[in-house]
Structure 1
Amino acid sequence: MEFTSVQGEQRYAALVRAAPETVVGLDFDGTLAPIVDDPEKAHIHPDADAVLTDLATQVKAIAVITGRPARQALDLGGLEQVGDDVAATGKDLYVFGQYGNERWSSSARRVVGPRPPAGLASFERELTRTLRRLDAADAFVEDKGLAVAVHTRRLDDADATFERLLPELRELAQRHDLVVEPGRSVIEVRSPGVHKGRAVRTLVEELGAGGFAFAGDDLGDLEAFEAVRDLAGDGMPTLLICSSSEEENALVDLADVVVRGPEGVLALLAQLSDDARQLRA
């Protein structure tokens, strides 16, 4: 791991001291699971279960906060099994799906979420024509129930198509009272007002957290980073972790520590567990 500043090292040390009251929030794709061309074939790193279960013995709770539907993240990540293992330590694993629109926990064991936003169905009807007009008819369109994601990763001109689509889809979304969330080769359209930062604040309020760490990899995690920075401004021990890659480094300048992909994230979390355990030994 690489701290971005002396202050980053100091924040890590403070978080170790506050570990028993700390909630650890984690993005899914690019943070727990390697990025793959087919989003339906993503799986969390094989070390994740063991690392998260051990981490649970040292912190207050663990939460996966993802743009994916909660049920999809649970299935692809094997997170129900992880939840069972975390529950055996006496702690909870939370999954906030679709940026916080959906919730699951290892104690409640069911996904709770709202109805699809008004305007989403009419947006989808126009989307097909828009993609055809922009020579992007082969982009993969993922219906998430509460949102729609347009993936360009599989296309030969993925980056150029992404840049071409983004302003057009943002304008189309606005006409239907929806918002756009750009990610790594994906443009997601969903209802306004719900984002990962709100999920962070919900966890702090509901669990009475005395510390917060969050790990993410792209612009979809920006609101979570901003929420954690606000918590730091209020005096709470915090840590911002950027999972970087060759193609995505948007959060590097905002992070306290930079690691390399899911493997680096898990190595850092394992170190956090060890340091917290030794401090209390």
Structure 2
Amino acid sequence: MTDLDAAARELARVPRLLVALDFDGVLAPIVDVPSQARPLPATAAAIDALAGLPDTTVALLSGRGLADLATVSGFGRPVRMVGSHGGEFDDGDAGSLLDDAQRARLDRLVAELRELVDGEPGVALEGKPAGVAVHVRNAPPEVATRVLDAVRAGPAARDGIEVTPGKAVLDLSVVRMDKGAALEVLRERVDAGAVLFAGDDVTDETAFARLRPGDVGVKVGPGDTAAEHRVDGPPDVGALLELLVQVRGGR
């Protein structure tokens, strides 16, 4: 039995459990076209089973906008969803509504980014309720570097703009948000005794940093991390969730 297996078996027996999961690179393999990402079938089945167990909350915690996350994941209640790095909660209590100054700031940000990336091959903008993500995964390396450097030196440097770097993406927002703070909100709302969080990106480190004794953090893939455990990819996450279903369902 691996250390992670042992930790998962112990975690599965807590009275109230919160399982919070990033989506891309964790439940779904990374793909060139973000709209085509889908959770692995076995993983989706494990999530449905886990979410149906008593005193168990499963939440997707993603940088994607909430509507986009719901579309690509295919999940509905009782699976909870938090989008835009914690800027949108599916119960509407996320504080995602902007005041007039923030709305004006967002309009300017969108206009500047559209002008900046116009004609750049492989670069895509993803609009969100409180910001914009600049995706360069499909851009030639020299284009990706040039565009991201220009974004950092220009729109990202403006007052009131929050910047969250990720894998081949730069998220810009007019409100402060991170997954760590969102995880704390979820923990409090469901009164969880322990948390499992799995993520693959640098944006997930804010959540790993918020984990407490008795929680389990799982880094998916390579890279420096504060998580105690690591797996190679989405199939391993699916196997971990299946183990939780087996043990928690039989407790």
TM-score tier (shorter): 0.7 to 0.9
Matched, 1:40 2:35: yes
Deviations 1:150-205 (A, max 9, x none): 11111122xx5444444442342231411111111111111342111111100111
Matched, 1:241 2:218: yes
In structure 2, the residue matched to 1:274 is: 246
User: In structure 1, how many angstroms separate the alpha carbons of the residues matched to 2:19 and 2:122?
Assistant: 38
Return closer, same or farther for 1:170/1:111 CA change in 2, 3 Å cut-off. same
* Partner of residue 152 from structure 1, selected from 136, 141, 153: 136
2:63 aligned counterpart, secondary structure: coil
Contact 1:2/1:258 (<8 A) preserved: no
Contact 2:20/2:61 (<8 A) preserved: yes
Aligned identity (percent) is: 30
Structure 1 length as normaliser, TM-score? 0.77
User: In structure 2, how many angstroms separate the alpha carbons of the residues matched to 1:137 and 1:121?
Assistant: 23
User: In structure 1, how many angstroms separate the alpha carbons of the residues matched to 2:209 and 2:149?
Assistant: 24
Correspondence 1:210-221 to 2 at 5 A: 210-221=193-204
Greater CA drift, 9-18 or 45-54: 9-18
Greater CA drift, 269-278 or 144-153: 269-278
Shift of 1:59: 5.2
Return closer, same or farther for 1:261/1:274 CA change in 2, 3 Å cut-off. same
In structure 2, the residue matched to 1:261 is: 233
In structure 2, the residue matched to 1:67 is: 63
Matched, 1:77 2:73: yes
1:177 aligned counterpart, secondary structure: coil
* Partner of residue 178 from structure 1, selected from 146, 149, 161: 161
Contact 1:104/1:112 (<8 A) preserved: no
Shift of 1:224: 1.1
User: In structure 2, how many angstroms separate the alpha carbons of the residues matched to 1:79 and 1:125?
Assistant: 33
User: In structure 2, how many angstroms separate the alpha carbons of the residues matched to 1:206 and 1:199?
Assistant: 11
Matched, 1:140 2:124: yes
Letter in 2 for 1:30: G
Shift of 1:58: 6.1
State the aligned residue count. Answer: 246
User: In structure 2, how many angstroms separate the alpha carbons of the residues matched to 1:204 and 1:68?
Assistant: 21
User: In structure 1, how many angstroms separate the alpha carbons of the residues matched to 2:45 and 2:6?
Assistant: 27
Return closer, same or farther for 1:150/1:2 CA change in 2, 3 Å cut-off. farther
1:62 aligned counterpart, secondary structure: strand
Shift of 1:51: 0.3
Deviations 1:46-99 (A, max 9, x none): 12332012223265201101111111111111112xx3xxxxxxxx32100111
Return closer, same or farther for 1:128/1:70 CA change in 2, 3 Å cut-off. closer
Letter in 1 for 2:22: D
Contact 2:86/2:94 (<8 A) preserved: no
Contact 1:31/1:217 (<8 A) preserved: yes
User: In structure 1, how many angstroms separate the alpha carbons of the residues matched to 2:54 and 2:147?
Assistant: 44
Contact 1:102/1:114 (<8 A) preserved: no
The structure whose residues are more often helix, as a share, is 1
Matched, 1:169 2:155: no
Letter in 1 for 2:151: L
Give ranges in structure 2 of 5+ residues lacking alignment. none
Return closer, same or farther for 1:62/1:143 CA change in 2, 3 Å cut-off. same
In structure 2, the residue matched to 1:87 is: none
Letter in 2 for 1:146: A
Shift of 1:254: 2.1
Contact 1:101/1:113 (<8 A) preserved: yes
Structure 2 length as normaliser, TM-score? 0.86
